[in-house]
Chain A
Amino acid sequence: MRAINIKPSRPLAVFLTVLPFVLVFIAYAIGSDIRLTANPSDKLLPAPSTIWDTAVRLTTEGDRRSGRILFWHDTWASLKRLALGIGISASLGLVIGLMIGLLPLARSFLAQFVAVLSMIPPLALLPILFIVFGLGELSKVVLIVIGTLPFIIRDLSQRTIEVPQELLVKAQTLGASSWVITLRVALPQVMPRLIQAVRLSLGPAWLFLIAAEAIAADLGLGYRIFLVRRYLAMDVILTYVIWITILAFLMDWTLRAMSRKLFPWAEEGL
């Protein structure tokens, strides 16, 4: 039988899905164990049990000075920046993408400009943002917007252009104005794609968020990781990294579920 035709049964599929996670965990546990038996005060690979204890301590015990549980404050601060940045990118990207896709005038005016803009490495702009917008929230949000917006615009304008010409002509024969065509034909057709684009942008968005927080912040997941790096607190760093991964995964999963629920007519992707 050809390899492309061999499909796993349900239990096997579940087993295969879980397997890499288990393997990585075992590999880490073994590595950590080897180092710790050689040197009990080794900080590089803390034992899984130590990480667990740290995680419990971080999420339940307040800070010695302020009494606040910094873990949740960090999470909240980072999520706020991320949501704001991605939210602005998605809204602007949708509007500009639809305009470029539907209006030949806007296409001539903006398409090449956006293509050039998207070539600017956003991190190179970070110093400028700090100078212009200060070290506060604004510069971090703007960095996320700058980092994700060009991709969303290009993706959505491409998708809008791909809406079959037949549908646009059909809508015109039913008396639809440009506005109604945008609202009732193009917008619903690109909405699933917008969610897809946001999902793909989440990775870069986290990257820009953590970079900005690492350089200038007094709260946030990225700030904390780079702060405790000085004390080689691997257990704290790993807890935060795992937490960020879980958050990112949950966002991705939620967006996918939302897309399936809201747009049942769209074909399913990954």
Chain B
Amino acid sequence: MSFVTVTDVFQSYGRRPIIEQVNVSVDEGEFISIVGASGCGKSTFLRLLLAQENPTRGEVRIAGAPPAVEPGLDRGVVFQRYSVFPHMTVRENVVAGESLRRPWGRFFGADLKAARTRADETLARCGLDHVADQYPATLSGGMQQRLAIGQALAAKPRILLLDEPFGALDPGTRLAMHDFLRDLRAETGMTVFMVTHDLEEAFKLGDRVLVFDKPRWDPQDPSLNGATITYDFDARDGGIPFQTLKEDTHVLQDNG
């Protein structure tokens, strides 16, 4: 039973189609990398998954529920920028992950204390415990993204959407963030969609890599056609699952 089902989704802005006829289904716990040329509609697709926008045609269903019309608790998101609240300290940002759903957006009394303790655990997990009382503006790019992920996870979403989360980081920090994300994912078993421009990253982290591209190209007017998913790679074990499977089978046959 597929967890996320995208059926025949079209999205156009004005009369300009951006994505057309996207069909994909994703199992719970899968890590989906999304790659494609700049401006082909990857972020648009993510916004549709998030229900920040509604498609002009088609629908996105999660766990069989009716299509969402606005963002909600089941889908968390980390953008490339502006992902944390600049007016809250690092700890308050993580607490906000749990408290914004409350009537006043805050915890009081014992709840607040408990939430702070949980937040400190999350921060220790993200390696941010030493800056808990600082404002995000004083953090480096990598730390801010770790905070954004920590905050999104504090809300315990079923799906995490990442739009070029490591796009602005240096290669070293990027590698550290990969390990961080992998560990978190192993722990939570979340379904993840990640847009990236880095193919290596896409194949390293993803179970599947979706490639967005325009299937048809009008030389007179390139903006006439929208993009769709042109390739859907199986990326487990570095993209060579079938070879592994055959080898295993072979070994078994030898033994038998």
Contacts and interface: CB of A to CB of B under 8 A. Distances in A.
A75 B63 CA distance: 68
Nearest to A185: B85
Q: Of residues A169, A173, A177, A184, which shows the largest number of chain B Cβ atoms within 10 Å of its Cβ?
A: A173
Contacts of A265: 86-87, 135-137
B83 interface: yes
Contact of B79 (A166, A176, A180, A189): A166
Given A166-B83, A173-B77, A189-B87, A180 B105 contact: yes
Interface in B113-139: 135-137
Given A173-B76, A173-B155, A264 B81 contact: no
A128 interface: no
A166 B101 contact: no
B77 A175 contact: no
B169 interface: no
Contacts of A175: 72-73, 100-101, 155
Q: Of residues A167, A172, A177, which shows the largest number of chain B Cβ atoms within 10 Å of its Cβ?
A: A172
A57 interface: no
Contacts, number: 76
A176 to B, nearest CB: 4
A266 B82 CA distance: 14
Contacts of A173: 50, 71-73, 75-77, 152, 155, 157
B184 to A, nearest CB: 17
B105 A183 contact: yes
A175 B156 CA distance: 11
Given A170-B82, A184-B100, 14 more contacts: A169-B50, A170-B79, A171-B100, A173-B76, A174-B97, A175-B72, A175-B155, A176-B105, A180-B102, A184-B105, A185-B85, A189-B87, A265-B86, A265-B137
Interface in A124-174: 164, 166-167, 169-174
Contact of B71 (A164, A172, A189, A264): A172
A265 B85 CA distance: 10
B134 to A, nearest CB: 10
B100 A176 contact: yes
Interface residues of B, number: 33
Nearest to B137: A265
Contacts of A179: 103
7 contacts: A166-B82, A172-B72, A173-B157, A174-B100, A174-B101, A175-B72, A180-B102
A263 B100 contact: no
A174 to B, nearest CB: 4
Contact of A174 (B50, B73, B86, B137): B73
Nearest to B74: A173
B52 interface: yes
B52 to A, nearest CB: 5
B247 interface: no
A171 B52 CA distance: 12
Interface string B147-174: 0000110010100000000000000000
B224 to A, nearest CB: 28
B81 A166 contact: yes
B104 interface: yes
Contacts of B73: 173-175
